[in-house]
Structure 1
């Protein structure tokens, strides 16, 4: 295990924060902290792990508390209720003090060994370092294909450039984290928000491994919610597509009505086919109207949720190792 960092580090040494959202990951926490410690030890930086924990029915919290007691440089946020991964990430970044912040999942699908290369890119002047998946081992075939389709759709319609096949695994400079903290969005989609903030960005390709233990905590419904979080706030295309479809159908309906009148005048009106055509047209228009209402509803509901101005999260408890760096009143680092 990694022990709390000692005086061998200078007070001016850069601090690396590693933010990890998690839920029901009791079997993954110890090997994750071990591997992070092995990566960080030879780099010579002060570092901390910020766990952002959705209240779990398993022993995830107890395992982390044991790691804190053993002297690992950990800050543990436990929320008052389950808030989901996007808000957990925001909370973790809010409580990170690093000159750079690395975001990584707890399931060890994203190898901690990539952190060293990310830091090297950061030292070269890049303020955003994204890990780009070249393969995703051990994942459900349908889920994988749906994810690939989502990234390609997002790439086409998003108003900000979101690199294809990049998840939440990334390094963010403290300046980027500071600017991200001004985006207090309840449905914060980190990949889109990072792109919206901008700054000098690079990409590191890697192969994603299967989960170390357990099963994914994101259902298809949860993945669909994340997809909406990525599309709705960052693209007008769904609404404009709805407008275009409605206008096109209106024109088509008028043309067909005109043709029907002309044919009726020339050949006589049938007693049957207009009713069939009308039934099909009503069915089609009803589907379009309901789809349109759903699209507009997503935008309206999300706008309403933002105007309520409720806190994004409530922290039930905050535990941390002694000697971790902290933010002072002016958001600068201090060390106890």
Structure 2
């Protein structure tokens, strides 16, 4: 299924003749954190997929995001026998968004495909994505049409996040689309111009735009290991996404404050009229405590929302690098 806006014919006759004589350089960007059990199977699957793709020259950029297991050693063993493997070793664990950014910075390909090593996203789909790219699309999104491999809680929270984010933010993020996608070099170069250090990559991918197509697939179960995104990390990622691309949470509390003040004003008029007409004072310890605690809670929530934005502004103002590279391991020969 493709978007309604049809692309222009980007491929000229000269490009077609050039592509017939030179292979397309495709970079796989693979963030890894404690994936020692998966990298061997991942490389075997990728090699099988691209064995017959003579028109594609493959580069596999692994980003070791501060793994504490034998991931780096396993990657170096594979690099010794596979010249396509490059390894970017970060100085510590910076998180997937930073590791993905590091991989995009290091990738040299004409097209770049971020993909996880757990084989939940099938490498076989990449060839279909390349076919869409050859039609003139600069971004090809892999859209999950079946997420039964994920837990119910993860599916429900994802649906809730997309619904809330796309309602309150000016930017629309495609639903059921992760980091697995194909991007033209011009798209990656545009991403590299974005300076923020607190990065929500799905939002940044959507913000830059470009002509986009979709390829549907069924998400598989992890080949090995455990997911690194628990409920708390997913919640923080959702907060990052909402606060990075919308100021509506701040605006909402303006309306909440106006509404509470208006109700309080009406209640004050009601009490005054009742006392004047009936001479009855309203006994009110319970109601007073409810009002105080309710308004106090609202104020604390509002301060918390402001704090989320202020904290992100503070971190951005430091202008620290998104990641630090300990060493880049290039293939020998």
TM-score, structure 1 length as denominator?
A: 0.89
| CA distance in 2 between partners of 1:11 and 1:280 (Å) | 77
Q: Name the counterpart of 2:306.
A: 296
Unaligned runs of 5+ in 1: 1-8, 324-336
1:54/1:82 contact within 8 Å kept: yes
Please give the secondary structure, in 2, of the residue aligned with 1:98: coil
Structure 1 residue corresponding to 2:107, chosen from 65, 87, 96:
96
Q: Name the counterpart of 1:140.
A: 151
Q: Name the counterpart of 1:77.
A: 88
Q: Name the counterpart of 1:152.
A: 163
Shift of 1:13: 2.9
Q: Name the counterpart of 1:5.
A: none
Q: Name the counterpart of 1:194.
A: 205
Q: Name the counterpart of 2:175.
A: 164
Structure 2 residue corresponding to 1:243, chosen from 249, 254, 274:
254
Deviations 1:155-206 (Å, cap 9, x if unpaired)?
A: 2122212111111111111111001011122221111101111111122221
Shift of 1:30: 0.9
| CA distance in 1 between partners of 2:154 and 2:56 (Å) | 38
Q: Name the counterpart of 2:236.
A: 225
Aligned ranges 1:1-336 → 2 under 5 Å: 12-43=22-53, 44-273=55-284, 275-322=285-332
| CA distance in 2 between partners of 1:176 and 1:278 (Å) | 58
Deviations 1:281-312 (Å, cap 9, x if unpaired)?
A: 21111111111111111111111111101111
Deviations 1:22-51 (Å, cap 9, x if unpaired)?
A: 101111101111111222232221120111
Unaligned runs of 5+ in 2: 1-18
Deviations 1:60-87 (Å, cap 9, x if unpaired)?
A: 1111101100124011111111100000
2:110/2:185 contact within 8 Å kept: yes
Shift of 1:124: 0.8
2:197/2:320 contact within 8 Å kept: no
2:197/2:319 contact within 8 Å kept: no
Please give the secondary structure, in 2, of the residue aligned with 1:211: coil
Shift of 1:133: 1.2
| CA distance in 1 between partners of 2:86 and 2:275 (Å) | 78
Shift of 1:11: 8.2
TM-score, structure 2 length as denominator?
A: 0.90
Shift of 1:277: 2.4
| CA distance in 2 between partners of 1:220 and 1:116 (Å) | 33
2:28/2:115 contact within 8 Å kept: yes
Please give the secondary structure, in 1, of the residue aligned with 2:51: helix
Shift of 1:12: 4.2
